[in-house]
Chain A
């Protein structure tokens, strides 16, 4: 089935599809907006297989553009709104983009690009769209064709675009809906960008169940998000570790009642046990789902059932329905208990590869297997625990040190909001351990206190040589700390 038809198949006309601070959009209106943008694309001669980019903050119009592109079997290319105009243009050229949907509010920043490519401005005027029929197509389609190209968050010299097929989207969406037990009653506070695979998965899953997405683009001021959650009785929230760090340690979230909040989702990196426990205890009536995935898997690979949070704290769980995860040695054999290996995945959500990058594709994907680049152990019940990214291990005095372990230790200190451990070349140690920390407002904690804490908890070869207190950590558009930038830093950041 065409993915847009698939996503709108259960839509209940009278139910709210999107809510913002200023307006709401029912599924009836949303379908009309989607249908009108399909007409727009056809009028501009956009054909099946053409790449069409979307450049905007989360909005019903972004979502409608996305569905319109998929409806005509063109290929959607969501772009990060944090890109400079040059990098944006580079990405557009890389995918050979034919057309661009751009937020009117971003037009000024990207006006140079708009001189070079045909575009359509998305703004509130689309709310006035007259009733346009959304026509469901009865015919089958080739589900293995590309539906979208998602740029990864990894820092590489050239852009890396993951090919996501219609089958990938539908398989991952079905699976996520199943384990999260989503229904039309969901009202999800959405702060994660749609151009990031985790954000796109929120869009896919909630449209498919005819749920409501409450959109806020003002997480820079967390209180505004919390106010809107209260006002709209949100039943769900999805965040990455930095979202929860901010909510738990820099906002009134732990003190807000939020009686309707039933499901809290966390993915996009490791939320350390201390913070995870704080999250669980902040709203005990809500279920916390710890999840794991990557863009190359459409979004999701595993989840931990909430009831196992205490017995399996720190685990990413097991494969989601339809996905098989194993942890293997270099040789490809499964590891034994106590060993560390790489997580590999197989399932209908695995991307066919990177656009125009056969070498990188060959390395990452092999015989239908996805080599995730994440190193893990497995317990006797088959639950997976990530130890570190393959590339983030620090080689200190002959030992392979997990940066996660150091970070988790430092995060035990209540005044620490965020921590990142990196290795930099050192004559004696091989790599010297440097830790960057961000402290709570008004904290009087000193680097000596942090080192003292590490000394009482970590082995000698795991002790940081240098601790830097920073006001912030460099992060990419997906909320992930850019460790390669920290490695380059000399003095205090």
Chain B
């Protein structure tokens, strides 16, 4: 079974980086600082995790602490799925 981190790496590599070679950064890398995301791709990430994990993302939760790295996203998803 894929971990949250693995699923995220695959999604970002394929749908945001358009790469067949996987996600080339480590889990702590900031998406924003490395030009990995822009406004449009953050929205895609939100939609992806809502669909995949059945969570509802509030506007106020779309912040770097929750979204700006594989690590941050995975912690956020874990927290939200435990709350449900």
Chain A residues in the interface with B (C-beta under 8 A): 81, 105, 109, 218-224, 242, 246, 250-252, 438, 441-442, 471-473, 475
Q: In chain B between 34 and 57, which residues have their CB closer than 8 angstroms to a CB of chain A?
A: 35, 37-44, 46-47, 50, 56-57
Q: Within the complex, which residue of A223, A246, A475 is in contact with B63, where a contact is CB–CB below 8 Å?
A: A223
Which residue from B32, B39, B43, B62 sits with its C-beta under 8 Å from A223?
A: B62
Partner of A224, one of B35, B57, B59, B64: B64
Using A442-B50, A471-B44 as known contacts, say yes or no to A221 and B64 having CB atoms under 8 A apart.
yes
How many residues of chain B are within 8 Å of chain A by beta carbon? 23
User: Measured between C-beta atoms, what is the minimum distance from B41 to chain A in Å?
Assistant: 8
What residues of A have a CB within 8 angstroms of the CB of B68 in the complex? 221
- A222 cross-chain contacts in B, Cβ below 8 A: 39, 59, 62
> Which residues of chain A have C-beta atoms less than 8 A from B47's C-beta?
441, 471
Contact A442–B60 (Cβ < 8 Å): no
Q: Is the CB of A472 within 8 A of B32?
A: no
Residues of B within 8 A of A (CB): 32-33, 35, 37-44, 46-47, 50, 56-57, 59-60, 62-64, 67-68
Q: Are B59 and A218 neighbours in the complex by a CB distance under 8 Å?
A: no
**How many whole Å from B18's CB to the nearest CB in chain A?**
12
11 A-B contacts (beta carbon < 8 Å): A218-B32, A221-B32, A221-B42, A224-B63, A246-B39, A250-B62, A251-B59, A441-B46, A441-B47, A471-B40, A471-B47
A109-B35, A441-B50, A441-B57 as given contacts; A221 in contact with B67, CB under 8 Å: yes
With a cutoff of 8 Å between Cβ atoms, the chain A residues found around residue B63 in the complex are 221, 223-224
Q: Is the interface of B mostly helix, strand, loop or mixed?
A: helix
Q: How far is the CA of A163 from the CA of B40 in the complex (A)?
A: 31
Given contacts A219-B39, A222-B39, A252-B59, 17 further A-B contacts (CB under 8 A): A109-B35, A218-B64, A220-B32, A220-B42, A221-B42, A221-B62, A221-B68, A222-B59, A223-B63, A224-B63, A224-B64, A251-B59, A252-B60, A438-B43, A441-B47, A442-B56, A473-B40
Note all chain A residues with C-beta closer than 8 A to B62.
Answer: 221-223, 250-251
CA distance A27 to B68 in the complex (A): 33
Contact of A220 among B37, B57, B60 (CB under 8 A): B37
What residues on B are CB-neighbors of A81 within 8 Å? 35
Check A250/B35 contact, CB under 8 A, given A218-B64, A441-B57, A442-B56.
Answer: no
Whether the pair B59, A220 counts as a contact (CB closer than 8 A) is no
Q: Give the chain B neighbours of A441 by CB distance below 8 A.
A: 46-47, 50, 56-57
For the complex, what is the distance from the CA of A81 to the CA of B34, rounded to whole Å? 12
What CA separation (Å) do A472 and B62 show in the bound complex? 17
Measured CB to CB, the closest approach of chain A to B40, in angstroms, equals 4
Partner of A472, one of B33, B44, B50, B67: B44
Residues of B within 8 A of A251 (CB): 59, 62
Name the residue of chain B whose CB is nearest to the CB of A249: B59
Smallest beta-carbon distance A255→chain B, Å: 9
Q: How far is the CA of A218 from the CA of B43 in the complex (A)?
A: 14
A199 to chain B, nearest CB (A): 15
Residue of B nearest to A256 (CB): B60
- Looking at the assembled complex, report how far the CB atom of B32 sits from the nearest CB atom of chain A, in whole angstroms: 6
Q: Which of B40, B57, B64 contacts A475 (CB 8 A)?
A: B40
Point out the residue from B33, B39, B42, B44 that lies within 8 Å of A242, measured CB to CB. B39
- Known A218-B32, A441-B50, A472-B44; judge A223-B59 contact (CB<8 A): yes
Closest to B34 in A: A105
A246 contacts across to B, CB distance below 8 A: 39
